[in-house]
């Protein structure tokens, strides 16, 4: 058998420990975790081998490993580990570090996952909105600006065109950055698994979509069973809010056509009926989002002894989603009540939405793209036939 020399990356071992995997060194390779994990494929199962690779500082092997993202951090393994080595949390720490490794630009990932930079990152959208509002003269008015006694955000705070421009640019940046990140991850997996057989990519993508829509893997978890339900609520509410955003944007297309002088005779209200569709979808999705997030929080506290409470990386994402939901619902109710508090609530809502999406490629939100990529790769390589 050929001799293999392993060079441990000591900095990486410390990074894993500091990123939430402080129990890493307790592992004595008994493999109980791999036996109890219901999510792992039978061929080269995880997470024991990942614990060994992390203890040996094998950074490249871990970052080019699809298995780190196949884990759903259900914590079945953590609950049964006889040494309290918390493999679920160690894998979570490795995932966070892999996002930092593949992100473009990388410095943003380091900032987003470090609580010291939270206020700096929040200040970016806050200053942007304050400048726009000031340029529209809002701060100069003495009375609460209203139209026929009603609060109209798009008229007095800042125009619709500013909001749409900022969010279109933010969405394009996030999608492009995520695309670059997952492309680097795919290449790393291909480099680490050079002799892997590959099947149909189309079949792998469609099987992955079916898996995700049904949360088939997630629902196999036992110790923290409720996490799959909470995750499903949040996942489908995001889809509902995405549909709401698309329809709300479609509604104002005639206004853009008129504003850009493409057709000045167009009826700018001709698609107003869409509001009767997207408003109920938006409200139901926001309520589902709040329920899902509350369940996520309660699950974390309920299972903290067995599964751990989670790191800043986990809680930043949970808190942001909760903040977006709460301020979104409040902004709507306060606007309907015609109170001046509606304006700052709406600005706070837009700041949090900006934070959630502009920094999505660098935060836990990026798990959607990285986990999907790992699932597609695993099915494409024929390892996970399910």
Give the shortest CB-145-to-ligand SF4 separation in angstroms.
52
Give the shortest CB-227-to-ligand SF4 separation in angstroms.
10
Give the shortest CB-318-to-ligand SF4 separation in angstroms.
17
Q: Which is nearer to ligand SF4, 59 or 371 (CB)?
A: 371
Give the shortest CB-67-to-ligand SF4 separation in angstroms.
8
Helices 342-358 and 312-336, packing angle to 10 deg: 150
Give Cβ neighbours of residue 146 (< 8 Å, ≥ 6 apart): 152, 156, 338
Q: Which is nearer to ligand SF4, 21 or 323 (CB)?
A: 21
- Tokens matching residue 188: 């790393």
Q: Which is nearer to ligand SF4, 27 or 288 (CB)?
A: 27
**Cα separation of 209 and 375, whole Å?**
9
**Cα separation of 340 and 145, whole Å?**
9
Residues in the chain: 386
Chain residues that interact with ligand SF4, rule: CB under 6 A: 27-33, 37, 39-40, 46-48, 51, 71-77, 81, 83, 85, 87-88, 91, 221
Q: Which is nearer to ligand SF4, 156 or 218 (CB)?
A: 218
The answer to whether the beta carbons of residues 65 and 189 sit under 8 Å apart is yes
What is the 8-class DSSP label of residue 7? -
Q: Which is nearer to ligand SF4, 33 or 182 (CB)?
A: 33
Which among 373, 382, 380, 371 is positioned nearest to 44, based on CA atoms?
382
Residue with tokens 């993508």: 205
How many CB atoms lie under 10 A from the CB of residue 65? 23
Q: Which is nearer to ligand SF4, 33 or 53 (CB)?
A: 33
Give the shortest CB-91-to-ligand SF4 separation in angstroms.
6
**Cα separation of 120 and 359, whole Å?**
13
Give the shortest CB-84-to-ligand SF4 separation in angstroms.
8
Burial of 118 (0-12, 13-18, 19+ CB in 10 A): middle
275-298 burial string, b = 16+ CB within 10 Å, else e? Answer: eeebeebbeebbebbbbbbebbbe
Q: Which is nearer to ligand SF4, 36 or 122 (CB)?
A: 36
Give the shortest CB-232-to-ligand SF4 separation in angstroms.
16
**Cα separation of 27 and 147, whole Å?**
65
Give the shortest CB-309-to-ligand SF4 separation in angstroms.
15
**Cα separation of 27 and 16, whole Å?**
14
Q: Which is nearer to ligand SF4, 47 or 323 (CB)?
A: 47
């Amino acid at each position: 058998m050929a001799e293999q020399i392993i060079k441990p990356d000591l900095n990486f071992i410390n990074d894993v420990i500091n990123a939430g995997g402080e129990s890493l060194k307790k592992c004595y390779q008994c493999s109980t975790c791999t036996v109890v994990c219901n999510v792992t494929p039978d061929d080269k199962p995880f997470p024991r081998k990942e614990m060994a690779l992390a203890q040996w500082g094998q950074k490249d092997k871990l970052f080019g490993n699809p298995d780190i993202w196949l884990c759903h951090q259900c914590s079945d393994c953590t609950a049964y580990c006889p040494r309290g080595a918390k493999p679920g949390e160690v894998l979570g720490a490795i995932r966070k570090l892999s996002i930092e490794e593949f992100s473009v630009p990388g410095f943003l990932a380091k900032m987003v996952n470090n609580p010291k930079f939270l206020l700096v990152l929040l200040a970016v959208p806050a200053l942007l909105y304050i400048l726009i509002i000031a340029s529209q003269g809002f701060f100069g008015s003495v009375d609460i600006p209203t139209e026929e006694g009603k609060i109209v955000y798009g008229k007095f705070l800042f125009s619709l065109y500013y909001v749409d421009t900022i969010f279109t640019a933010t969405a394009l940046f996030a999608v492009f950055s995520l695309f670059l990140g997952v492309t680097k991850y795919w290449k790393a997996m291909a480099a680490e698994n050079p002799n892997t057989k590959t099947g149909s990519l189309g079949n792998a993508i469609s099987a992955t979509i079916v898996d995700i829509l049904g949360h088939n893997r997630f629902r196999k978890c036992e110790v923290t069973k409720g996490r799959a339900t909470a995750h499903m609520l949040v996942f489908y509410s995001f889809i509902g809010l995405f549909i709401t955003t698309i329809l709300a944007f479609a509604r104002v297309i005639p206004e853009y056509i008129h504003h850009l002088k493409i057709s000045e005779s167009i009826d700018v209200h001709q698609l107003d009926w869409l509001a009767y569709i997207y408003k109920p979808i938006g409200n139901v999705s926001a309520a589902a989002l709040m329920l899902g997030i509350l369940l996520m929080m309660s699950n974390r506290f309920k299972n903290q002894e067995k599964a751990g409470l989670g790191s800043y990386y986990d809680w930043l994402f949970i808190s942001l989603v909760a903040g977006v939901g709460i301020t979104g619902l409040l902004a709507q109710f306060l606007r309907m009540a015609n109170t001046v508090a509606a304006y700052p609530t709406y600005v706070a809502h837009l700041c949090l939405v900006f934070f959630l999406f502009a920094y999505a490629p660098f935060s836990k939100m990026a798990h959607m793209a990285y986990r999907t990529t790992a699932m597609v790769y695993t099915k494409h390589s024929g390892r996970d036939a399910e």
